[in-house]
Structure 1
Amino acid sequence: MDAKNSVKVSDGPDHSPRSCRVQIASSEHTPFDFWRIVFEGFIAGGAAGVVVEAALYPIDTIKTRLQAAHGGGKIILRGLYCGLGGNLVGVLPASALFLGVYEPTKQKLLNILPENLSAIAHLTAGALGGAASSLVRVPTEVVKQRMQIGHFSSALNAVRLIAANEGVRGFYAGYGSFLLRDLPFDAIQFCIYEQLRIGYKLAANRDLKDAENAMIGAFSGAITGAITTPLDVIKTRLMVQGTKSQYKGSINCVRRIIEEEGSSALMKGIGPRVLWIGIGGSIFFGVLERAKQILAGRRADLNKE
């Protein structure tokens, strides 16, 4: 648990607890160990990302196929794990990189900003973490989504053919739309999660249990997933088009989808997306907080020796 967000109860003059004066303890005098925070963020983030991706990959495949289908295209339910192995190779470093940037950025900003501006720290850290991890996440997403819709038979085949036919730029197809979706997504999701945890801790006057962290993670993921669905549809269409160049950027993609399929097409896949990210948020944040607790416990044991 972050010292900045730890909960304490102020004592009265007679040292009796007064529950009406719950406040956030300041980490002003806590040393900022940058490399430790980065390392633990890497470990916890990588573990959480891999567990979520492996558990919920079929739902993500269905969502991608729904979004990629034009008009009333038929959705194939075979091969729902297609591309999972190659995707995990990218998800592990991407998730690790995200938390490796998010955690030290968040804690540094929380130390600098007043407590009533903690949401700014969470929003900023989420956006910066998303920007850093996008360097790995976008190529991984391009390969994964093209395999999910049947363009390639294996990740290695996908990498080879994309490189040969489209060059390095092919691995970053839809990069702008990815950032347009994921920077606000990461910022909003982590801000909602962190702010709800702070409020819950204050109300409960204790640390949260695993189930409570998971519940808050599910809520923040589902809400954020729903409101960013149109951005996800645009990102998917741009990433899977390959050399066809059907769309000329995000604005052209939106215009053509509305003209050819109606505005409701921008909400394609919202059901699987909300389900996937809601359950994923529950698992991700549950694993994340548990991993952070384990790492903190190991650190405390080492300090005793």
Structure 2
Amino acid sequence: MTTMWSEDWKWENAAAGAVAGFATVAALHPLDVVRTRFQVSDGRPSILPQYKNTGHAIYTIARSEGLRGLYAGFSPAVLGSTVSWGLYFFFYSRAKQRYHKGDNDKLSPGHHLASAAEAGALVCLITNPIWLVKTRLQLQTPKHHSRPYAGFSDALRTILKEEGLSALYRGIGPGLLLVTHGAIQFTAYEELRSTFIYIKSREVRTKNTGGEELLNSFDYATLGAASKLAAILLTYPYQVIRTRLQQRPSSKGTPKYLDSWHVVKETAKFEGVRGFYKGITSNLLKNLPAASITFVVYENVLKIFRVAKGQS
């Protein structure tokens, strides 16, 4: 079987990642809207409604804003997720290729961690403006602003006009720190995947050199959810900090938070440790199945490419 590290495989990794990212967003976007609104709910007076829990939030948004509210920011979410996952898998596979020295060499956890961190940093720098617009559209309610954004392109134009180019990179600091999220997730996924393959290969007493065909979609779903859980628990506060930084300034043009340290101080002062985990329930409800979907789609799309190229 042709090695998965060959140069020919890079576009397949990108395409599989892009398809996986689109499938994930399309299925679970309403929970992302809820998570974002919880993350900026700091207990102080706000134009945003106050939600009791995830179920109440979904019900309230659906009743007051309709389906449009539940899918606020959907266009940049689809674009951002598709581009991010496509680029992530592309950069990740290329980084692993550099560390890989031979067909039979197994990459160490350190190599997986470095590859994932490198891929995450590159993707963050490229996609931060998309995620900023997505966040602002998700926080926009009918009563939120006298001049609401009409959509993705209008938001970009308005931000550039009112706040300048630098505004598109608000939250880039915690965004880069969130590189550790992907690094933890992918390292955990690769190590768990290798363990699953080893256990299954012993069960069937095979000397299979790749092992990919030993795993099924349920295995990939389990691996994706488990690796995502580890990453979320360890890095979630960075997400809260980034979301709070990316809020739209007031009508006077004054941002609610000046920088990441300001967010940390204010959150710790008024909310304590719990403030850094606002919205984690809806985040878990969204991202655990999302990670499962992503890796199931990604691995199966790669299998389709292998079959199509006669490399199965």
TM-score normalized by the length of structure 1: 0.83
Matched, 1:135 2:132: no
Give the structure 2 partner of residue 224 of structure 1.
231
Cα distance in 1 for residues equivalent to 2:3 and 2:35: 39
Q: Which whole-Å deviations, capped at 9, do the CAs of 1:24-58 have from their partners, x for residues lacking one?
A: xxxxxxxx532x22211110111111111111111
Matched, 1:148 2:148: no
Cα distance in 1 for residues equivalent to 2:106 and 2:153: 49
Deviation at 1:190, TM superposition (A): 0.4
Structure 2 residue corresponding to 1:179, chosen from 176, 181, 192 = 176
C-alpha change, 1:252 and 1:197, in structure 2 (3 Å) is same
Give the structure 1 partner of residue 6 of structure 2.
33
Give the structure 2 partner of residue 23 of structure 1.
none
C-alpha change, 1:299 and 1:117, in structure 2 (3 Å) is closer
Give the structure 1 partner of residue 207 of structure 2.
none
What is the one-letter code of the residue matched to 2:91? V
C-alpha change, 1:171 and 1:113, in structure 2 (3 Å) is farther
Question: What pairs with 1:1-305 in structure 2 (closer than 5 Å)?
Answer: 3=3, 33-34=6-7, 36-71=8-43, 74-75=50-51, 77=61, 78=65, 79-111=69-101, 118-150=108-140, 152-181=149-178, 183-205=179-201, 206=211, 207-242=214-249, 243-300=253-310
Any idea what SS the aligned residue of 1:240 has? coil
Cα distance in 1 for residues equivalent to 2:270 and 2:103: 48
Q: More strand by proportion, 1 or 2?
A: 1
Deviation at 1:2, TM superposition (A): 8.5
C-alpha change, 1:277 and 1:123, in structure 2 (3 Å) is same
More displaced, 148-157 or 199-208? 148-157
Deviation at 1:112, TM superposition (A): 6.6
More displaced, 107-116 or 232-241? 107-116
Deviation at 1:118, TM superposition (A): 1.6
Whether contact under 8 Å (1:229, 1:273) holds in the other structure is no
Cα distance in 2 for residues equivalent to 1:2 and 1:179: 35
C-alpha change, 1:271 and 1:300, in structure 2 (3 Å) is same
Whether contact under 8 Å (1:210, 1:286) holds in the other structure is yes
Cα distance in 2 for residues equivalent to 1:190 and 1:280: 14
Deviation at 1:114, TM superposition (A): 9.7
Cα distance in 1 for residues equivalent to 2:110 and 2:78: 31
Whether contact under 8 Å (2:11, 2:90) holds in the other structure is yes
More displaced, 159-168 or 107-116? 107-116
Cα distance in 1 for residues equivalent to 2:246 and 2:283: 17
Cα distance in 2 for residues equivalent to 1:117 and 1:33: 15
Give the structure 1 partner of residue 208 of structure 2.
none
More displaced, 41-50 or 153-162? 153-162
More displaced, 120-129 or 110-119? 110-119
Whether contact under 8 Å (1:93, 1:136) holds in the other structure is no
TM-score normalized by the length of structure 2: 0.81
Deviation at 1:71, TM superposition (A): 0.6
Deviation at 1:89, TM superposition (A): 2.5
Cα distance in 2 for residues equivalent to 1:2 and 1:44: 18
More displaced, 155-164 or 242-251? 242-251
CA RMSD of aligned residues (A): 2.3
Cα distance in 2 for residues equivalent to 1:2 and 1:220: 27
Deviation at 1:3, TM superposition (A): 4.5
What is the one-letter code of the residue matched to 2:129? P
C-alpha change, 1:114 and 1:231, in structure 2 (3 Å) is farther
Q: Which whole-Å deviations, capped at 9, do the CAs of 1:71-126 have from their partners, x for residues lacking one?
A: 16614524010121233223322221111110121233133799675211211111
Deviation at 1:248, TM superposition (A): 2.7
Mind listing any 5+ residue stretches in structure 1 that lack a counterpart? 5-31
